[in-house]
């Protein structure tokens, strides 16, 4: 796989991480994806291939709860998604997860989602 673009580089890092990170039923994988204008998070059981919980800034339920100045493209919006994913996961009985940054650097919005999920009660 030749690296021609930033997306190719991120995809290569993502595949390298995915070899080591595996979500089980007891400890599913918290996967985060960011685009320019939105951020998405989901808790995945890889053994059964199911998404257990999801939250994003495009959810109609999330759009109404975003604080003043929070959007999908900034850190405040990412914190809101992290808090929402933690609440929804705890409702389903999930407390421990494995964090998957999907090839993105652990910085900015990705870190904000992780920190907010930790504050919300998830352990990783």
pLDDT at 114: 98
Cβ neighbours around 65 below 10 Å, total: 11
pTM: 0.89
pLDDT tens for each residue of the chain, 124 residues long: 788 999 999 999 999 999 999 998 999 999 999 999 999 999 999 999 999 999 999 998 887 778 777 888 899 999 999 999 999 999 999 999 999 999 999 999 999 999 999 999 999 9
Q: Kindly give the interhelix angle for 109-119 and 75-91, rounded to the nearest 10 degrees.
A: 40
- CA-based diameter of the chain, in Å? 43
Q: Is 3.30.420.100 the CATH classification of the domain at 39-124?
A: yes
Check residue 9 and give its pLDDT: 94
Listed by start position, the domains of the chain span 39-124
How confident is the model at residue 2, as a pLDDT?
A: 84
Give pLDDT, residue 16.
92
The C-alpha atoms of residue 71 and residue 80 are separated, in whole angstroms, by: 9
Return left, alpha or beta for 5; rule: phi > 0 is left, psi -120 to 50 is alpha, else beta. Answer: beta
Q: Bridge partners of 29?
A: 44, 98
pLDDT of 5 reads: 95
């Amino acid at each position: 796989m030749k690296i021609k673009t930033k997306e190719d580089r991120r995809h290569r890092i993502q595949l390298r991480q995915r070899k080591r990170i595996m979500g089980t039923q007891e400890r599913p994988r918290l996967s985060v994806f960011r685009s320019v204008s939105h951020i998405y998070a989901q808790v995945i059981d890889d053994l059964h291939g199911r998404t257990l919980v999801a939250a994003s800034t495009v959810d109609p339920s999330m759009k109404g709860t975003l604080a003043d100045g929070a959007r999908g493209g900034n850190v405040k919006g990412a914190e809101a998604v992290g808090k929402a994913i933690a609440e929804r996961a705890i409702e389903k009985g999930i407390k421990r997860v494995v964090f998957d940054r999907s090839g993105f650097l652990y910085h900015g919005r990705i870190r904000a989602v992780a920190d907010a999920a930790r504050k919300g009660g998830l352990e990783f």
